Structure 1
Amino acid sequence: MNRIAMLGLVLAVSVLPGLRLACAPGGDGGADTLTIGAYSVIREALHEGILPAFADQWRRTTGREVRFEESYNASGAQARAIASGFDADVALLSLESDVDLLVRAGLVRADWKTGPHGGMITRSLVVIGHRPGNPRKIHAWEDLARPGIGVLYPDPKTSGGARWNVNALYGAGLRQGGRAAARDLLARVQANVVTMDASGRQSMATFERGTGDAIITYENELLLQRKLKGEAAPYVVPPATLLIEGPAAIVEASVKRHGNRRLAEAFLAFLRAPAGQRILMDYGFRPLDPTLDARPLPPELFTMKDLGGWSRINNEIYKPGGVWDSLFLGPKGGKGRL
C-alpha cells in the first residue's frame, strides 16, 4: 500500500497522540489544546508541515506548548460530524457550502467570509493527470472526450472534491458557448469515465493501479505524489480551468467552551501568513498571494464567482433533477449511458 493510500485510512474522528507536540511535563498546566476538523486532502500538509511550525511559533510568542487533536474526513462528512457534535475548534473544509452548513447549525458566524482572503486558506487548480510521456496526447478538456480515452474522477454525489472537477468541465463549456455547450462537454467526457470512486483519494489510488488514461483532480494532489513518492506525476493545466479555494472558520461554540479563541485565531492567521503559505506550497498548494509563486496561471482561469457562486451551481447541476441527474441517471431515474 502506498503512503498516500495508507494515510487515507483514518477514522472520521481520530486523535493523533504523536502530534501532541512538546506537552509540558506533569500535565496540561503549560499546554493549550486545539481540535481541528479538516478535509482529508490537506492532511499531510497539516500533520507534517503546518502543525509543527505553528507549535514552534506559539511556543516562542507565548511561552506555552500546544497540542493538537486532529480529525480528517471527506469535507461534507466532516461538516456533518461537527454539526452533529464533534467538538472541533476550527473547521478546514473543501467547499464553501460545507461551511454554510455550520452557519445554519449556529456554529460558525454568518460573516465568516468577511475576514482575510474571503475566509479562504488554500488555493489549487483543477488539472488533468496523465500517464508518463503523455502517450494519449492529452492537453485540454476536449481531449478527454475523444473515443477510447479512459477518464477517472470521483462521484460528485459523494465527493466534495469531485464537484470542483465537474464545475471545471462545466465552466470551460460555458466559456465555449453557454449552457448547451457546457452540458455537451460534460456529457461527452462523462461518457469516457471508466470508474467513479467515492473520494478523490480513492480515485487517485485507482489511477495509480493503472486504470484509465487520465484523471481529473487537484493540482496539489499530483504534486504531493511527487513529494511523497519521488516519482513523476505528470499533468497538464487546461487553458480554461477553475481556481479551487479552500475555506476555514472558527467554530464559535467550541472555542467559547474551551476558552481558546486566541489560539484558534492565531492558527488561522498562521495558515494565511507567508510562513504558513510557503509550507502549503511545499505540499503542492497555490498561495493566496500569487506574488509568492513563480508558477504561471492559465490564461483563462475562472472562479466560482465567475460561474455565479456555489448556490447557483449547486442548484443548476447537483440538485435533484439538475444537470447531473438529467445526464447521468436518464429520464426514468435509472443509471444509464449519457
Structure 2
Amino acid sequence: MRRTIVHLLTAASLFISSQAVPAVAETRELLLAAYSVPKEAYEKRIIPAFEQQWKQKTGETIRIHTSFAASGAQARAIIGGLEADVAALSLESDLQQLVKGNLVTHDWKQGPRKGVVTTSVVALGVRKGNPKGIKNWEDLAKPGVEVLYPSPKTSGGAMWDVIAIYGAGLKLGKQRGLPDSAAEQYASDLLKRIQRNVKVMDKSGRESVTTFERGVGDVIVTYENELAPRITQGRPYELIIPAETVLIENPIAVVDRNADRHRVRDLAEAFVSYLYGDDAQRAFAEFAFRPTNESTAKSFATTFVQPPALFTIAELGGWDKVFSTLFGQEGSWTKAVEELARAH
C-alpha cells in the first residue's frame, strides 16, 4: 500500500529476552498532485520544511509524495484514479472538474484568498539581446517570428497564454475606441495571427520551456515564474511583461474523497494551510511566484512588475464564458487551429 509504511521484523528479532519489541510507528503519507511549473518550489523548499515542522510539533514522521504533470492532464488523472490527497492546479476550471467528479466536496473557495495559493502573469521570453525586437503582442504576429506555447488541450498554462492574448486584444481594441463587437473581432484576429506563428505546442508549460532552451523559437509565451529564475541563474534570455496581460490565479484544494479514505485529512488540511503562511509564501516568491499572503506580498512589492493594463478572468466574464469563447467548439482558439490545419 502507498499509504502506510509498515516495518516488518523477522521472526528472530521479534523477541529479545522473551520480551516483544514494540511495533515501529507508522509513517503517514500524503500525495500532492500539482501542475508542472512549481515543482522546484515544492520539492526543494516547501515540502522539506513542512515535514520538519510537522515532526517538531507532533513528533510524527510524515512523507509527502509528489506527482507533477500538465494541469489538465493532472485533473484527468485524479478523476481516473490517481490517489491525490491535495490538488494544486494551474486554473480554476481544472479544479472544478474534481468538484464535478465529487472528489472535492467542500467549498474550496472559502477564505480570504478564495482558494488561490499563488499568482503570476503571462509574460514573454526572448533570446538575449531580443534579436527580433519583440515588445508587445502584435510583434508575435509578425512574419518570420517563431512562437512557442503549449497546447490548451493538455496544459492549464497554455489556456492562460491564450487568455492573455485574447484579453490583451480586447484591451487594445477598446483603447482604439472600437465598439465591443469590433474589439472582440480584433482579439480573435490577433489570436489567429499569433497562432499562425506557433512553431511547437508541447503538452505542458515546463516542456515548452525545455523546447525553448533547446534553441527552438524566437519567443515563448509562458508564466513569469518560469523565466525569471532562469534569467537570474544566467540563462541567455530576457523577460518581457506586456502592458496588457492576465493575472494567473493558481488554486489548491484538499481532495476530500481521497484524504478521508486515506485518513490523512488533518495532514492535508494542515499542509494547505501551511502553503498560505508566510514561510511557504516566501519560498514561492523566491521562485518568482507572486504571493497571495498580503504581508508577504508587501515584502516583495519591488520584486514584481505591475502591468498597467493587468486584467483578471472575472473581468472577462468568468471561466464558463472564457472557456466557451476560446476553447469551446465555436471558440476563437479552436476555430483558429482548425482553419490553420485546413490551410495546411
Normalised-by-shorter TM-score class: 0.7 to 0.9
Instruction: Give the AA of the match of 1:303.
Output: T
Q: Which deviates more, 202-211 or 236-245?
A: 202-211
Q: Tell me the equivalent position of 2:80.
A: 84
Would you say the 8 A contact 2:92–2:250 is kept in 1? Answer: yes
Would you say the 8 A contact 2:229–2:287 is kept in 1? Answer: yes
Q: Tell me the equivalent position of 2:180.
A: none
Alignment CA distance shift 1:215-1:64 (3 Å): same
What TM-score results when the alignment is normalised by the length of structure 1?
Answer: 0.86
Separation of aligned partners in 2, 1:40 and 1:200: 7
Secondary structure of the corresponding residue to residue 306 of structure 1: helix
1:197 counterpart = 2:167: no
Would you say the 8 A contact 1:191–1:337 is kept in 2? Answer: no
Computing the radius of gyration from Cα coordinates, the structure with the larger value is 2
**1:131 aligned to 127, 130, 136, which one?**
127
Q: Tell me the equivalent position of 1:162.
A: 158
Q: Tell me the equivalent position of 2:137.
A: 141
1:268-296 deviations in Å (ceiling 9; x for gaps)? 11111111011011112111133132223
Secondary structure of the corresponding residue to residue 336 of structure 1: helix
Pairing of 1:5-24 with structure 2 (within 5 A): none
Separation of aligned partners in 1, 2:112 and 2:42: 20
Would you say the 8 A contact 2:170–2:186 is kept in 1? Answer: yes
Alpha-carbon offset, residue 147 of structure 1:
2.3
Would you say the 8 A contact 1:171–1:241 is kept in 2? Answer: yes
**1:253 aligned to 243, 253, 257, which one?**
257
**1:285 aligned to 282, 286, 289, which one?**
289
Would you say the 8 A contact 2:115–2:251 is kept in 1? Answer: yes
Q: Tell me the equivalent position of 2:315.
A: 306
Q: Tell me the equivalent position of 2:12.
A: none
Secondary structure of the corresponding residue to residue 155 of structure 1: coil
Q: Which deviates more, 100-109 or 318-327?
A: 318-327
Alignment CA distance shift 1:176-1:253 (3 Å): same
Alpha-carbon offset, residue 28 of structure 1:
6.1
Instruction: Give the AA of the match of 1:301.
Output: L
Separation of aligned partners in 2, 1:194 and 1:214: 10
Would you say the 8 A contact 1:150–1:213 is kept in 2? Answer: yes
Secondary structure of the corresponding residue to residue 244 of structure 1: strand
User: What RMSD, in angstroms, separates the aligned Cα atoms of the two structures?
Assistant: 2.2
1:234 counterpart = 2:238: yes
Instruction: Give the AA of the match of 2:213.
Output: E
Report the identity percentage: 46
Alpha-carbon offset, residue 27 of structure 1:
7.4
Separation of aligned partners in 1, 2:252 and 2:334: 30
**2:94 aligned to 94, 98, 101, which one?**
98
Pairing of 1:16-55 with structure 2 (within 5 A): 29=25, 31-55=27-51
Separation of aligned partners in 1, 2:201 and 2:35: 19
Separation of aligned partners in 2, 1:28 and 1:245: 42
Instruction: Give the AA of the match of 2:341.
Output: K
Structure 2 unmatched ranges of 5 or more: 6-21, 174-182
What TM-score results when the alignment is normalised by the length of structure 2?
Answer: 0.85
Alpha-carbon offset, residue 150 of structure 1:
1.5
Would you say the 8 A contact 1:153–1:215 is kept in 2? Answer: yes
Q: Tell me the equivalent position of 2:276.
A: 272
1:20-79 deviations in Å (ceiling 9; x for gaps)? xxxxxx976163321111111121111111101111221222222221122112111211
Would you say the 8 A contact 2:75–2:97 is kept in 1? Answer: yes
Alpha-carbon offset, residue 85 of structure 1:
2.0
Separation of aligned partners in 2, 1:197 and 1:70: 22
1:164-221 deviations in Å (ceiling 9; x for gaps)? 0000000001112221111121122122222222222222122112122111011111
Alignment CA distance shift 1:298-1:257 (3 Å): same
